[in-house]
Structure 1
Amino acid sequence: MLAKRIIPCLDVDHGRVMKGVNFVNLKDVGDPTQIAAAYQKQGADELVFLDITATNEGRKAIVETIEAVASQVFMPLTVGGGIHSVADMQNLLKAGADKTAVNSAAVNNPELITQGAKKFGSQCVVLAIDAKWNPEANQYNVYVNGGRKKTDLDAIKWAKQGVARGAGELLVTSMDKDGTKSGFDIKLYQELTKAVNVPIIASGGAGNIQDFTDVFLAANVDGALAASVFHFGELTIADVKSQLSQNGVIVR
């Protein structure tokens, strides 16, 4: 078993870290550069930086902010938001990102995944999926534009298509669980780990240390991402790793 990754996430809106519940009611948490530096000290395995309003506002990600964050961290940095082309990916990689996460643009143009993987390698292309359970259709629907727009895409089928096109990793957020602190959506990640053979990062719902143990043991994901519990000091990364280790989960 590979060591599991604990990954804090910076949801950034116009240069400030924000956090909400179910993708709404966002609150200002602070400066991304300072928060990134704090997570570097805490021993985070990776950092995810998502410009959460870039796509909806039709703009590119804020390169200056990404450069400032990259200067503070020596762990892998994944950046998403406002990526519409291979050139956009290249600009973010030049700014200090190790991986680029595509979501809305990939749904609109799946060929972007293929082109990015071909130019930079699959390890640089993360397919980000915002998924919400649809009881009528009995499936998880994919949402785009920062969770504002529902599509008819089945999230599990879309994950398989994205991996077939060259995505080297999946970052999958449960919109039902986002910010609720009620635990990860185990069922979603169990379905995903059966469907694809690339690393999966679970996002949405972390509320306590046990939630991390549960998602790693029950769903066998490769990484667990959280924001609120780390931003507000409810948990530290060291605490989470210590508990995971005690529960037989291999961590770095």
Structure 2
Amino acid sequence: MLAKRIIPCLDVDDGRVKKGVNFVNLTDVGDPVQIAAEYQKQGADELVFLDITATNEKRKTMIDVVEEVSKQIFMPLTIGGGVSSVEDIQNLLRAGADKVAINSAAVVNPDLITEGAQKFGNQCIVVAIDVKFDPESNQYFVYTHGGKQKTELEAISWAKEVVAKGAGELLVTSMDKDGTKDGFNIDLYQKLDAAVNVPIIASGGAGDLADFNEVFQKANVDGALAASVFHFGELTISDVKKYLKQEGVVVR
């Protein structure tokens, strides 16, 4: 059994780490380079760095910040935000990323997934999917542009499509759960696990130790991503790993 991954996330806006609830009301958390170094010390398995306003501001990811962060850490680094071409992917890999996350651009141009996978390998291409539940249709829909634009894409079908296009991993955020600290969206990840055969990273809703255990035990995801609980010192990564080991979850 592969070890489950505990992954902190840096949502970066204007060179600073920010965190909100349900993708709004962002508050400043601190300097991404310092925070990345702290997560390295705590034993994080990977780090996700998302330039959350790059797409809406129609600009590229801040390469200089990425380079500074990559110098501080020795764990795998996934970078996303403003990625819209194979050249963008190449630039981020050169700046120190191990994997590149594509979100809005994948919806606009799904072939970008295939082109990136063919040039750099499937393992480098992560498709990030921001998802919100629609009670009327009883379905999950995909949102783009930092959660601001609803698409007509049903999330489970979209996940299957991007995997067929070459995505090596999915980073799926439940917008309904984001920043709420009331647990991961188990139903969403169970449906995704049944639909695709690539690693799934669950994001949105981590509030306490039991939430991490629940998502691994019930939803068979490969990694759990969190921001608020780590940024504000409510939990450390070592706390989470120690607890999971006691619960029988295999972690590094």
Question: Counterpart of 2:166 in structure 1: which amino acid?
Answer: G
Aligned length: 252
Question: Counterpart of 1:111 in structure 2: which amino acid?
Answer: D
- TM-score between the two structures when normalised by the length of structure 2: 1.00
1:116 alignment partner, SS class: helix
Aligned equivalent of 1:42: 42
Aligned equivalent of 1:162: 162
- TM-score between the two structures when normalised by the length of structure 1: 1.00
Aligned equivalent of 2:200: 200
Aligned pairs for 1:1-252 (under 5 A) are 1-252=1-252
Question: Counterpart of 2:246 in structure 1: which amino acid?
Answer: Q
2:72 alignment partner, SS class: coil
Question: Counterpart of 2:32 in structure 1: which amino acid?
Answer: P
How far apart, in 1, do the equivalents of 2:138 and 2:247 lie? 33
How far apart, in 1, do the equivalents of 2:127 and 2:137 lie? 23
Identical amino acids, percent of aligned pairs? 74
How far apart, in 2, do the equivalents of 1:83 and 1:90 lie? 10
Q: 1:89-136, CA deviations, whole angstroms, 9 ceiling, x for partnerless residues?
A: 000000000000000000000000000000000000000000000111
How far apart, in 1, do the equivalents of 2:135 and 2:117 lie? 34
| Structure 2 stretches lacking a partner, 5+ long | none
Shift of 1:137: 1.8
Structure 1 runs of 4+ with >2 Å offset: none
How far apart, in 2, do the equivalents of 1:21 and 1:78 lie? 22
Question: Counterpart of 1:17 in structure 2: which amino acid?
Answer: V
Shift of 1:204: 0.1
